[in-house]
Chains A and B, each alone.
Chain A
């Protein structure tokens, strides 16, 4: 038996249009990966404004396309769109089903990743919550955590599917686990079949960034990718032994070949020989890729090792307020004018008495992105855009700092100062710091709950 899983979403803000192509091609499971670290921070700010939010609010758009196929029994949907408020996302899913007159659908919710209210309990259970990157002890954590989210694995999703769920909505489940779960459910893989779990995790890893395995962000001969405005999203056909074929719906756009696949293999993985997933430690260096032609790449030979006894978790803290402004300068002397204006602005802010905790000056057209990797050049840029960003302790000050730029319209270095459209002087935005840590699985799992509601 071959199970077909589709990657219908790669992040919050992706297009729901590609889902139609996946459904037309036929997928047994449509997996929608909605969460990045940055997304959790966005959702946290959303929930601070309204307790009923905290999930990715484009979920109904995806379900609008997918649910009719679910009702016909052609596919099932698995998504972590629940973000930091899965019950609210589940209500949105039930509403979407009812709005389409689709009764009898089983919608499952996975809870238990949210540890925000359990920090004290975890601390008394001797969980250190020290920072995984810096080794800083939790005593140095700034303030109270705004959220604490553990990366759950595939198990609760499998439990939901075993209960007959048609739609599974989770919070912070590891991206690849959304794809591994239906493979475990369908193929009956056991939780210590490490090679199979690693193969399923690798499939999920390749598919979870939607278009990025089918020609998106491709740094080879990117201009040769067919119809990049019409990029199809990926499908994996996975056999019981873990052998998989990565492919895409037949359409005129996109490409799946060994290059597009191997580039995605190393996306955000740290040590490729020991990719730490919640359910397995996968060895991505063991995989063999064979180009079958026709946008089909076979993946075989994936090896895995026993999972660790911890989940990764993210804690977030308030890290001040930022705002930014952009100004463009023309030839001649564009770069010098930009640097002078940056310095004049900073001095004016200082004279005005505003405290700025951090400055960032970027010279677009010179070295804004590459910084010290950009070699010096004699070439005088025809124009330079200055981007200034700053961080302040409070929102009001961050906003006031931006106003000091406006008078420079008539008081800056000569002719060439021009505001860059409506982007200049943006509103202050809250910064969140991310504190990664590890939590013992047993302390998390005892609170994981799967509920199923029928529409």
Chain B
């Protein structure tokens, strides 16, 4: 069935010049094999549409169940030059895991959603 990468992968993103580096991580080998098959450089290129101007390269990193995507022309000219609020592309990991892919039923899962009760308690104490 179709599933958002949000349910399957963690992510981390950073910058170099006008390049954004966006990595996603599966938790286990079967899931890694699925993202290797589904999350191709071409699909990622299409997903980001005009948010990214250049090519997308993909690197497989099996020792950490990771895929690293190098997005060229992704930051509106690079950190000190861009007009974007997210000048370093830190949010592009979240943007990538919005992608939906086809997943075998046995791997379908739902990531736990945040419980920030501790934050609520702190904020209440400040009232």
Bound form: Cα–Cα A273–B47 in Å: 25
Contact of B81 among A42, A267, A372, A434 (CB under 8 A): A434
| Interfacial residues, chain B to chain A (CB-CB below 8 A) | 10-12, 14-19, 21, 23, 25, 47-51, 59, 61-66, 68, 70, 72, 76-81, 83-88, 90-91, 93-96, 98-99, 112, 114-116, 118-119
Give min CB distance, A277 to chain B, whole Å: 14
Known: A223-B119, A319-B80. 18 other contacts (CB 8 A): A37-B78, A37-B79, A41-B80, A42-B80, A133-B19, A259-B10, A265-B61, A269-B21, A272-B61, A359-B83, A368-B85, A369-B95, A371-B51, A372-B48, A389-B83, A389-B85, A391-B83, A433-B78
B61 CB contacts on chain A under 8 angstroms: 265-266, 272-273, 284-285
A140 contacts B by Cβ under 8 Å: no
A264–B19 Cα distance when bound, in Å, is 18
CB distance from A208 to the nearest CB of B (A): 12
> Which residue of chain A lies nearest to B115 when distances are taken between CB atoms in the complex?
A223
Query: Does A38 sit within 8 A of B, measured CB to CB?
Result: yes
B63, B66, B84, B90: residue with the most chain A Cβ atoms closer than 10 Å = B63
A86 within 8 Å of B (CB atoms) = no
- The reply to whether A285 and B83 form a contact with Cβ atoms under 8 Å apart is no
Count chain A CB atoms within 10 A of each CB in B47, B62, B77 and give the residue with the most: B77
Tally A-B pairs: CB < 8 A.
Answer: 157
CB A220 to nearest CB in B, in angstroms, measures 5
Contacts of A372 in B (CB 8 A): 48-51
Measured between beta carbons, the chain B residues less than 8 angstroms from A431 are 80-81
Contact A266 B12 (CB under 8 A): yes
Q: In the complex, how many angstroms separate the beta carbon of A252 from the nearest chain B beta carbon?
A: 13
Q: A377-425: which residues lie under 8 A (CB-CB) from chain B? A: 387, 389-391
Mark interface residues in A41-62 (1 if CB within 8 Å of B CB, else 0).
Answer: 1100000000000000000000
Q: Which DSSP category, helix, strand, loop or mixed, fits chain B's interface?
A: mixed
Q: How far is the CB of A391 from chain B (nearest CB, A)?
A: 6
The contact size tier of chain A is 35 or more
Bound CA span A286–B62, Å: 9
Q: Which residue of B lies closest to A372 (CB)?
A: B49
Given contacts A133-B19, A267-B14, A270-B21, contact A223 B116 (CB under 8 A): yes
* A389, closest chain B residue (CB): B83
14 contacts across the A-B interface (CB closer than 8 A): A38-B88, A218-B10, A262-B66, A266-B64, A267-B12, A268-B14, A268-B21, A289-B63, A289-B64, A319-B81, A360-B84, A369-B94, A375-B98, A434-B18
